[in-house]
Amino acid sequence: MEITVHGTPVELLGRDQKVGKEAPAARVDRLDGTKNVIGMVAPTAQLLIAIPSLKTEVCSLGAKKFNDLIKSFPKLTTYMITTDDPEFVSEYAQKEGIDSAELLIDTDRNFAKKYGLLISEGKLRERLARAVYVIDREGVIAYKEVVPEIVDEVDYDKCIEALKEATAIKKGGHTHEEWMSV
């Protein structure tokens, strides 16, 4: 897959993941240095937000906007993943009040490689492309957007629609009243 960085084409390394396929498990670091695994089957739907660098205006604005937008989704676990250094990310989270998502560091670029988001060259080499993935509770990728130009924002409206669908409780089986009336 390819994106552009300020108009210059750049190849992304790793496996390109498709909507409708099982989300791979990826190992990332929490701000306290412990490991966490994201993706795959989970008790709640997941929103994975790949952020090139919180030190840039577009990334910082996007993180704050998502932090506000996802507050209305109690059955959602949100991860913002970056390659910035943990100290900066920790300070950023406190200063900006990021409290609806867990900020994670892709130290080993495991997430970047498993999701096909590793920038291969240029001044952003070894950073993440800007992207979002919605993963349903069964661990299937329900929505994906890899932003074609790194300085552009994601389509928040489409992402929120996908989140609504992925977090909706699907009523299955029978109700107690139906069972009793048989």
Q: For position 155, what pLDDT does the model report?
A: 97
More confident residue, 176 or 169: 169
Does residue 159 have an active-site annotation?
no
Residue 174 lies in a domain: no
Q: For position 169, what pLDDT does the model report?
A: 64
Instruction: Flag whether pLDDT at 100 surpasses 50.
Output: yes
What's the CATH code of the domain at 114? 3.40.30.10
Q: For position 142, what pLDDT does the model report?
A: 97
Residue 181 lies in a domain: no
Residue 91 pLDDT level (bands cut at 50, 70, 90) = very high
Q: For the chain, give the mean pLDDT.
A: 92
Residue 173 lies in a domain: no
More confident residue, 134 or 74: 134
Instruction: Flag whether pLDDT at 175 surpasses 80.
Output: no
Residue 76 near residue 44, CB atoms below 8 Å: yes
Question: Tens digits of per-residue pLDDT, 3-57?
Answer: 999 999 999 999 999 999 999 999 999 999 999 999 999 999 999 999 999 999 9
Residue 111 lies in a domain: yes
Question: Tens digits of per-residue pLDDT, 147-164?
Answer: 999 999 999 999 999 999
Residue 178 lies in a domain: no
The one catalytic residue in 3, 23, 49, 59 is: 59
Residue 180 lies in a domain: no
Number of domains in the chain: 1
The residue segments making up the domain with residue 146 are 2-167
Q: For position 181, what pLDDT does the model report?
A: 44
